[in-house]
Structure formats: structure tokens, C-alpha cells
Amino acid sequence: MQKILVVLLILSSVVFSQKDDLKNLFELNQEIALNNLNEETLSFSHQLIGTELPGKKNAGLAILYSFLLPGMGELYAESYSSGMHYTIADAALWGTFTGFNLYGAWKKDNYMSFAESRGGVNLYNKDEEYYANISIYQSIEDFNKAQELQRNYNGVYNLNTHYWDWKNSDTRREYREMWSSSEQAYNNVRFVVGALVLNRVISAINAVRLVSRYNKNLSSQNDVSFFIGYSSKPNMPSHYTVNFITNF
């Protein structure tokens, strides 16, 4: 009986020692796994690159703005310091355009009234060619004779509807000066219109150049990135790291 008790005691001690060994082995494996996990850096990152930079400019819009109003294309390209000269020039040209139109119209009213009162002209339904012809010929008879000599019979005027007679050369020359002044003013208007178009073309070319430079500078502006990380290592306190990267 005593021998059986001894055997049972020995067996129980072995079993409990094996359980303790198994428990210690399991805990050791957990500790090793935890240590291995802690030795690795647990990090997460987020990268922000250039989200605050404005978008690129459109060359087509710059051209459209420049044709609507010279200088606006440069303003769109954020370089109005060079575009304001085209705006000022456009304003001056429009002022000149208005001035020549008003002067030409005033002179036209004058020569038409003069032709009616001093030359016996009927102003109804007369074209620009008629007012030019009466500035050259003394009367309708002289004009019609010249057309017949040139065999331009279709160009002969009707005496009842297109009559004029200046009576003397001084009166005709006075009329011609008024007519010439009006025609010169309207010719100047045509030059101003050409200058308005040219100003827009030059402004559009300049705006496209500035948009190209703006987009080129935009692509070379600073790119900003930042990273946020978390680290935990054995025998060292856990910590966070924040890194900024700027590319020029």
C-alpha cells in the first residue's frame, strides 16, 4: 500500500511539472511573438502632394478673354502688369474711333446741306458715288458729257432726279473740302478698326505666352508631403513620428 502511494505521488508530480512546463512554454512563445511584433515598426502614412496648388490655365480661354478685352487674357494668366498696356491702348482706340465717326458724320451733314442749298441737289436716295462725282464736276451737264465721251451711257444721270450746278468753281471747291474732310475721317475709322483688331491679336499672343509660363512655373512649384508613423520597440518607449518632405 505504501508503495502504491509513493508511485501515485511520483506520477502526479511528473504530470504537474509537465503542465507547468507546457504553460511556461506557451507563455514563452507568446512573449517571443509579442517581442517580435514589438521589434517591428508599426507605421501608417498619408502623403499629401500639391493639393493646395491652383489648377493650370487654359490657353483657349486666354485668347477668348483677350479678344473680348485686351489685357483680360493677361489678367487670367495672373500677369496683368503687362496686359494693362493693351487695355489702355484699347480704350484710347475706342475713343479715337468714336471721335472720327462723330467728326465724319458732322462733316457729312455739312456738305449735304451745302450741296442742297448751294448746288440745287435733291438729297433723296443719293449714294456715296453721287456725292463724290458732284465734288469733281461743275454741273450735271459736264458730268453727263464726260460719260458720253467715255461711252459709259449707263452712267449718265437723270436731269430731274440728279441735278446739280455749282455756278462757279469756288463753290464746288468749298463743297469738295467738306466732302474730303468727311471721307478722310471715315477712312481713319477703318484704320482704327484695324488697330483694334491688331491690339487684340497681340494681346492674345502675349496672354498665351504668359499662360504657358504660368503652367510651367506651376509644375515646378513646391511639392509638400508628410508622413505620420508609430513605433514600439522592446525596452524603449512607444513614440509617434511626423516627417515633412519638400521637393523643389
Task: Say which range, 15-29, 78-92, 127-141, has the weakest mean pLDDT.
Answer: 15-29
pLDDT at 217: 87
pLDDT at 238: 57
Contacts of 182 (CB under 8 A, 6+ apart): 104, 105, 107, 108, 110, 111
Q: Are 175 and 134 in contact (CB under 8 A)?
A: yes
pLDDT at 190: 95
pLDDT at 55: 78
User: First and final CA of the chain: distance in angstroms?
Assistant: 91
pTM of model > 0.85: no
pLDDT at 179: 97
Indicate the SS3 state at residue 228.
strand
pLDDT at 150: 92
Q: Which residues pair with 245 in a beta bridge?
A: 225
- Mean pLDDT value across the chain: 79
What's the pLDDT tens digit per position in 117-172? 999 999 999 999 999 999 999 999 999 999 999 999 999 999 999 999 999 999 99
Q: Are 170 and 138 in contact (CB under 8 A)?
A: no
Contacts of 211 (CB under 8 A, 6+ apart): 57, 58, 59, 62, 73, 76, 77
pLDDT at 115 over 90: yes
Q: How far apart are CA 72 and CA 194, in angstroms?
A: 20
pLDDT at 82: 87
User: Does residue 155 or residue 235 have the better pLDDT?
Assistant: 155
CB count in 10 Å sphere of residue 75:
19
Helix/strand/coil (H/E/C) assignment for every residue in 154-223? HHCCCCCCCCCECCCHHHHHHHHHHHHHHHHHHHHHHHHHHHHHHHHHHHHHHHHHHHHHHHHHHHCCCE
Banded model confidence at residue 200, pLDDT cuts 50, 70, 90? very high
Q: Are 222 and 247 in contact (CB under 8 A)?
A: yes
Q: How far is CA 242 from CA 60, 100, 186, 236, in A?
A: 43, 70, 73, 18
pLDDT at 195 over 80: yes
Q: How far apart are CA 176 and CA 182, in angstroms?
A: 10
Whole-number percent of the chain with pLDDT over 90: 62
Query: Can you tell me the mean pLDDT for 217-230?
Result: 59
pLDDT at 56: 87
Q: How far apart are CA 94 and CA 86, in angstroms?
A: 12
pLDDT at 223: 52
